[in-house]
Amino acid sequence: MFNNIKKEIDKDFDKQKNYDTILSKVEGVSSMKSFKFRYALIPLCVIIIATVGISQVNFFKTKEQQIAYNGNQWPTKEIYANNLTQDSIAIVPRWDDLTICQQFSIVEYDGSTYDCKYGEVPAANIGNNLGSTTLIGYDIYAEKTYTKNASLYSINSISSKCAIALQFEGTSEFYSYINAYYKPSTLKDFIKDLNLREIVSFGTIDYKYNYTDSEGNHHFDTIEFSDVDDEIIWSMLFSDTSLKNIHTDSLVYNTVIEIGVDIPILGYKNISCSLTEEGYLVTNILDTGKAFYIGKEKVEEFVNYIINNYEGYRIVYVDSNGNNFDDEMIQNENRLSEDSVVTVENNVIENVVSHSIN
């Protein structure tokens, strides 16, 4: 049975390899590195979960709340999604269809690589001139290399360690380029270096709620809360600026809350800050992970505050015919869970592979 699950996982990886092959011609050409993430039609939800034992659910609810909850505590909000699969990925635009920032999306400055996220910087926010450079772009279809001169500038109130602005020769616009390798030492550095208070706006909050119904079916609900006051988020989650950035690639955590984040000046829309069961505040602002340990108590306090003070909606994904994707996912997840439990020297390993939805 375990081998059957492994075959399902391998099948997904094989599809991804087909996509990688399409972009293989641009290896070594820096301006194409971001195409894979920017232009692929990425499935809405591709989840591979591997857990040892059975993880705790209902982490932030009292026993009485758990008993009272029957899956219908929140009204339903339907979101329509088309039926694209992983076979539909790997669409790379033609050269003439790209903006100049997309054509020349990578620049080297002060020993670091900066990527364009297609944010435009108002002229009023442009600071000191940092010099000039020549960028390289590559047309994957014509197999042709282009070059373009540009002037580099600092962005007012944002450290050049985090982001800079470029103005291409013969143009009037300024585009922001971010340094994904920037790593703040503390939360204070992170907020100050990015001028985060001024440039960020928070969006919807998604609460990840897992439970098992009376028939033994596992449910993985997303409860969406809108119009949460930004000041509540700042005061409850970002107040202790002395916290160290302790992110490592080996850090493992379980997300409880995702907070939508927009940073227009840097070209970011609907990325996230997350809270975890383990007590971490985690974010992918500037594309790489940052993690600050705020404590389980603060995470629980924030979750309960949002649940008790804002109206939430249970998100359900449906296709154009009104079919509920969640029902299909639950059926497949439960079937795979039953078929994929392997006992090795008294250790239970559960492998669950969900269907991709877009």
81 inside domain: yes
* Alpha-carbon separation of residue 331 from 237, 319, 350 (angstroms): 37, 17, 16
In the chain, what are the helix, strand and coil shares in percent, each to the nearest 5? 30, 35, 35
Look at 227 and 249; give whichever has higher pLDDT: 227
For the chain, helix (H) and strand (E) counts, in that order, are 9, 17
Amino acid letter, residue 157: S
At residue 209's C-alpha, the angle toward residues 83 and 325, to 5°, is 15
Range of the domain at 280: 2-90+184-353
Alpha-carbon distance of 33 to 115, in angstroms, equals 9
| Beta strands at 312-318 and 76-80: parallel, antiparallel or unpaired | parallel
Interval 9-45: pLDDT, tens: 444 444 444 434 334 433 333 333 333 333 333 333 3
In this structure, of 65-74, 151-160, 259-268, the range with the lowest mean pLDDT score is 65-74
- Average pLDDT of 316-328? 68
49 inside domain: yes
**SS3 state at 23:** coil
Total of domains in the chain: 1
Whether the pTM exceeds 0.75: the reply is no
Residue 293 φ then ψ, to 5°:
-85, 105
Interval 106-136: pLDDT, tens: 999 999 999 999 999 999 999 999 999 999 9
What is the Rg, in whole angstroms, of the alpha carbon atoms belonging to the chain? 23
155 inside domain: no
Alpha-carbon distance of 116 to 61, in angstroms, equals 42
68 inside domain: yes
Question: What 8-state DSSP symbol labels residue 232?
Answer: H
Alpha-carbon distance of 99 to 138, in angstroms, equals 13
Mean pLDDT for the chain overall: 77
Interval 284-305: pLDDT, tens: 999 999 999 999 999 999 999 9
What stretches of the chain adopt beta strand conformation (E)?
48-52, 76-80, 106-109, 112-120, 126-139, 144-155, 163-168, 175-179, 201-212, 218-225, 255-263, 268-276, 280-283, 290-293, 312-318, 341-344, 347-353
Q: Is the pLDDT of residue 96 over 90?
A: yes
330 inside domain: yes
Alpha-carbon distance of 330 to 76, in angstroms, equals 17
pLDDT at site 90: 57
pLDDT at site 276: 96
Confidence of residue 86 (pLDDT cuts 50, 70, 90): very low
17 inside domain: yes
Interval 159-178: pLDDT, tens: 999 999 999 999 999 999 99
Look at 11 and 273; give whichever has higher pLDDT: 273
- Average pLDDT of 84-95? 65
Alpha-carbon distance of 152 to 161, in angstroms, equals 13
In angstroms, how far is CA 98 from the centroid of its own chain? 24
176 inside domain: no
156 inside domain: no
- Average pLDDT of 221-236? 95
Q: Is the pLDDT of residue 211 over 80?
A: no
Amino acid letter, residue 238: F
